[in-house]
Amino acid sequence: MAGKTLYDKLWEAHVVRDNGDGTALLYIDRQLVHEVTSPQAFAGLRLANRPVWRVAANLAVVDHNVPTTDRDKGIADPVSAIQIDTLDQNCRDYGIVQFGLHDRRQGIVHVIGPEQGATQPGMTVVCGDSHTSTHGAFGALAFGIGTSEVEHALATQTVVQARSKRMLIRVDGQVGPGVTAKDIMLAIIGHIGTAGGTGYAIEYGGEAIRALSMAGRMTICNMSIEAGARCGMVAVDDTTIEYFRDRPFSPKGELWDQAVGYWRTLVSDDDAVFDRVVTLNAADIKPQVSWGTSPEMVLPVDASVPNPKDEADETRRAGMERALEYMGLTPGTPIRDIKLDKIFIGSCTNSRIEDLRAAAAVVRGKRVAENIQEAMVVPGSGLVKWQAEQEGLDEVFKAAGFEWRDAGCSMCLGMNPDKLSPGERCASTSNRNFEGRQGQGGRTHLVSPEMAAAAAVAGHFVDIRELEQ
């Protein structure tokens, strides 16, 4: 019999019952809750007079709606305020632990979960947010769910799931200087397409993935959903285990030893069979910049804006034409000649301390270009912010002309006041370049923190590899 993949092991360890109709009832170890996708779930519980099944398995935080400045003044937008107050009230009513707006541990749900050790290897993790795939970086089965499923998980500690197919994406060899986890992932999405992973659970492997820090692995798994997959994961190794030593919610004492013994089994067997295997050569990956309105519309920084005329498929060609029109770009323009208006460094993809250090190293001693109207750094959590300040990174950014903000989702999706105006062009370390994502009519280019920082200084995209020489 063939060996098991990591996904198979995680799946089988959590099946409560096989429904016999292609679905199973899957046990959920941890649910993360935020203000946007939970109010209707709690309302549903109340309506049916149902309790929360296992209160202490849930962790709540406000992130999507929160202002990133002047928090002591309260929340200006009354509609956002209601949503934030509703989460407070729901957590009080049901006894769920919440990091509120003024808690220094508050931050983006996918940053604070691992930071606190609340999401761990071997867990099933759900959250009403598609970037829950982030937590797969630790060898966990983590996926985004809708609000009906949030309610289902609150009420039963399970979700009904169909088993996914298994895909291995192997990135062999080593990346060159200036090429980050973000570039690897954008290259993967460019390669398999934004629906390439639909129906699959993706495991990332190979030398280039193993060489990444946990922050880098989280960046990779985070954007699994942009490749179409609900979940992405990386096998457990020493890097994973070291990450959890002494986190607040990590297992302690004897439980730690027992947990580590189990965590070490969370790897795909050598003879495991995947339904699809994709391989990339790390050395071929260059710093990436998205040019269109889908994450698959991405190119190396030394390329030029593509010409739809070269696309044979009619639907794809129409999509490219629409994207270029929306983005205000002309075919043949070198990516490096694209001028920018705003810079956003943040989001659950790239707002960890490692990301901020990398961006700060690029801007240190330099100034944001004249044509950049706003450049902001939004740390992933209050603790990331605190750490960065201990290291003086805030001063580096501020001296260069960046704004230094409080933690939250911010301009990744613009539910709070941080957003683009129509026609504004932004180099963003976030995960989605959809039409209107960062603000109606806003134009988003997805890049790594280093590339965003370099673009801030130059006022247009630059090849980070040339700066590093």
Binding residues for [4Fe-4S] cluster: 348, 409, 412
Output 326 or 387, the one with its CB closest to another protein. Answer: 326
Which of 210, 208, 232 is closest to 221 using CA atoms? 232
Question: Which range of residues in 19-27, 67-75, 391-399, 456-464 is near another protein by CB under 8 A?
Answer: 19-27
Output 327 or 453, the one with its CB closest to another protein. Answer: 327
Q: What is each CA distance from 157 to 31, 183, 232, 270, 278, in whole angstroms?
A: 9, 36, 22, 32, 34
**How many other CB atoms sit within 10 Å of the CB of residue 261?**
9
* Binding status of residue 49 toward another protein by CB under 8 A: no
Beta carbon of residue 228, minimum distance to another protein (angstroms, whole number)? 7
Output 24 or 452, the one with its CB closest to another protein. Answer: 24
* Binding status of residue 386 toward another protein by CB under 8 A: no
* Binding status of residue 387 toward another protein by CB under 8 A: no
Give the separation between CA 371 and CA 375, rounded to whole angstroms.
Answer: 11
* Binding status of residue 414 toward another protein by CB under 8 A: yes
Residue from 33, 171, 229, 356 in contact with another protein (CB under 8 A)? 229
Task: Classify 234 as helix, strand or coil.
Answer: coil
Which residues between 170 and 209 bind another protein (CB under 8 A)? 194-195, 198-199
Give the separation between CA 224 and CA 216, rounded to whole angstroms.
Answer: 13
Which of 38, 18, 35 is closest to 26 using CA atoms? 18
Question: Which range of residues in 172-180, 252-260, 340-348, 385-393 is near another protein by CB under 8 A?
Answer: 252-260
Output 141 or 456, the one with its CB closest to another protein. Answer: 141
Amino acid present at 89: Q
- Are residues 363 and 329 in contact, defined by beta-carbon separation less than 8 angstroms? no
SS (H, E, C) 348-416: CCCCCHHHHHHHHHHHCCCCCCCCCCEEEECCCEHHHHHHHHHCCHHHHHHHHCCEECCCCCHHHCCCC
Output 107 or 216, the one with its CB closest to another protein. Answer: 107
Output 33 or 175, the one with its CB closest to another protein. Answer: 33
Beta carbon of residue 133, minimum distance to another protein (angstroms, whole number)? 10
Using the 8-state DSSP alphabet, how is residue 32 labeled? E
* Binding status of residue 25 toward another protein by CB under 8 A: yes
Residue from 108, 125, 141, 225 in contact with another protein (CB under 8 A)? 225
Residue in the block written with tokens 């959809």: 434
- Are residues 28 and 15 in contact, defined by beta-carbon separation less than 8 angstroms? no
Which residues between 99 and 158 bind another protein (CB under 8 A)? 118, 120, 122-123, 128-130, 132, 143-149, 151-152, 155-158
* Binding status of residue 16 toward another protein by CB under 8 A: yes
* Binding status of residue 445 toward another protein by CB under 8 A: no
